[in-house]
Amino acid sequence: MRKTIVILCIHIALYAKVMQGQTLQPEYYRDIEPLIVRHCIDCHYDGGPAPFALSTAEQVKKRAGFVAYVTDIRYMPPWKANPDFGVHRNARVMTDEEIGLIKSWVESGMKTGRPGKKTKSKKAAKNISEPPNTVRLFMSKDYQIQSDRKDDFRFFYLPYSNNRDEFITGIEFIAGNKQRVHHSRIMVDTSGMVAGIDGLSEADTSIYRYQKKPLADEFLYGWVPGNFTFRFPKGFGKKLHKNSGFVLNMHYSPSALKETDKSSVRLTLEKSENIRREVKTFILRENDISNKPFYIPAESERTFYISSGIIPQDLSLLTVQPHAHLLGKSFRAFAITPDGDLIPLIQIDKWDFNWQTTYEFPRLLHIPAGSVIYMEGTYDNTTANPVNPNVPPLDVGYGWRTVDEMMNLIFYYTEYQPGDENLVLEY
């Protein structure tokens, strides 16, 4: 009898301890791993775009203080849009509770706990076989990346030469050399006049020869690490005109190593009979600036204002993407409807050249005819801008090169149809 009571007491004590642990002390497998899987593992896996993996309890514990810090200051997961101004489907934002949980796990001594049955600590291996309906276009040859410890900005031309119009429903950039490819931008040309750009450095001023006339699509897709495949909702597609070619604007990180890269682009194509809605691109550019010229003198900060003018037809927006280079500081874009309502589109309080993303709306966003879209952008060309490419600063104007500046607002849209606001988009 006494033995039973003792055992019972031990059990109660243990149970109380467990309960206490559950309510007070977060454990890795139960509380933290789900957060890491949801918010970090897309990039922080072995061989992924981030510099180290966070796939196991040991790996996370090793950097736990740092993990708590970068989430607390909202540096990670990287997401530049202000969540209070516009809603985006692909937002990577942690709640205050989630951030607090990581912090208290670190402060309470990082208990590991037991792996649950459903533990998913590793990202599934990427499917490397070519999916159906896709074509993969490679750079024509291995490019020898500069090994002078400087950033290397290049253009490459990928001929495609389709002999009829097609529809793109998805696009993926596949970095050849993952360590060195920092980001890339994919543009489409139909003029057949830019093949000579292949391999050209941005520092080569002959580049200006190719930018006299805008390309068919200057912003088909912008890739940063972790911005994997871009896909249009089911039934939506973007027309790829016949005789298209692709221009890759590549940025390679500095290194002293002699390395090469051969990146590629994978397009998912669909027959036109399967496309219900055609996606088009609408771009506001430097020409739409109301306080021209677009010119940022050395040691100055300038704010520019772009207006679309009155939009003549109803639009349904799928995405928005601001674009600028290293002097960008903050951006905001919104629409004002004929009734005077403000529709928030995007706000980036701290522009980061390295994390430019296509911001997707969760549903089609209706912009009624008669609306005006506005964008304001501030540029910092002072020495106080830590990423100013010129030390001391130089006067900067428009240009494709990273040391020049741009101010664009790019939309994927489709013509509005009644009921679009409630359409559930499938991906």
Residues that bind ligand HEC (CB under 6 A): 39-40, 42-44, 49-51, 63, 66-67, 70-71, 76-78, 92, 225-226
Nearer to ligand HEC, 92 or 366 (CB): 92
The answer to whether residues 261 and 143 touch, using CB atoms and an 8 Å cutoff, is yes
Measured from the CB of residue 369, what is the shortest distance to ligand HEC in angstroms?
37
Nearer to ligand HEC, 82 or 179 (CB): 179
Burial classification of residue 344, based on how many CB atoms lie within 10 Å of its CB (0-12 exposed, 13-18 middle, 19 or more buried): middle
Residue 1's identity, in one-letter code, is: M
Nearer to ligand HEC, 282 or 355 (CB): 355
Nearer to ligand HEC, 44 or 401 (CB): 44
Measured from the CB of residue 56, what is the shortest distance to ligand HEC in angstroms?
14
Nearer to ligand HEC, 117 or 350 (CB): 350
Nearer to ligand HEC, 60 or 289 (CB): 60
Nearer to ligand HEC, 78 or 170 (CB): 78
Beta bridge partners of 68: none
HEC assignment per residue over the chain: CHHHHHHHHHHHHHHHHHHHHHHHCCEHHHHHHHHHHHHCCCCCCCCCCCCCCCCCHHHHHHCHHHHHHHHHCCCCCCCCECCCCCCCCCCCCCCHHHHHHHHHHHHCCCECCCCCCCCCCCCCCCCCCCCCCEEEEECCCCEEECCCCCCEEEEEEEECCCCCCEEEEEEEEECCCCCCEEEEEEEEECCCCCHHHCCCECCCHHHHHHHCCCCCEEEEEEECCCCCCEECCCCEEEEECCCCEEEEEEEECCCCCCEEECCEEEEEEECHHHCCEEEEEEEECHHHECCCCCCECCCEEEEEEEEEEECCCCEEEEEEEEECCCCEEEEEEEEECCCCCEEEEEEECCCCHHHCCCEEEEEEEEECCCCEEEEEEEEEECCCCCCCCCCCCCCECECCCCCCECCEEEEEEEECCCCHHHCCCCC
Measured from the CB of residue 134, what is the shortest distance to ligand HEC in angstroms?
23
Residue 118 structure tokens: 């459903």
Nearer to ligand HEC, 26 or 77 (CB): 77
Measured from the CB of residue 166, what is the shortest distance to ligand HEC in angstroms?
30
The answer to whether residues 328 and 353 touch, using CB atoms and an 8 Å cutoff, is yes
Measured from the CB of residue 256, what is the shortest distance to ligand HEC in angstroms?
19
Measured from the CB of residue 95, what is the shortest distance to ligand HEC in angstroms?
12
Residue 303 structure tokens: 């704010």
Nearer to ligand HEC, 156 or 223 (CB): 223
Give the C-alpha separation, 191 to 244, whole Å.
8
Measured from the CB of residue 391, what is the shortest distance to ligand HEC in angstroms?
21
Measured from the CB of residue 353, what is the shortest distance to ligand HEC in angstroms?
12
Measured from the CB of residue 257, what is the shortest distance to ligand HEC in angstroms?
18
Measured from the CB of residue 67, what is the shortest distance to ligand HEC in angstroms?
4
Q: By beta-carbon distance, which residue lies closest to ligand HEC?
A: 226
Nearer to ligand HEC, 43 or 345 (CB): 43
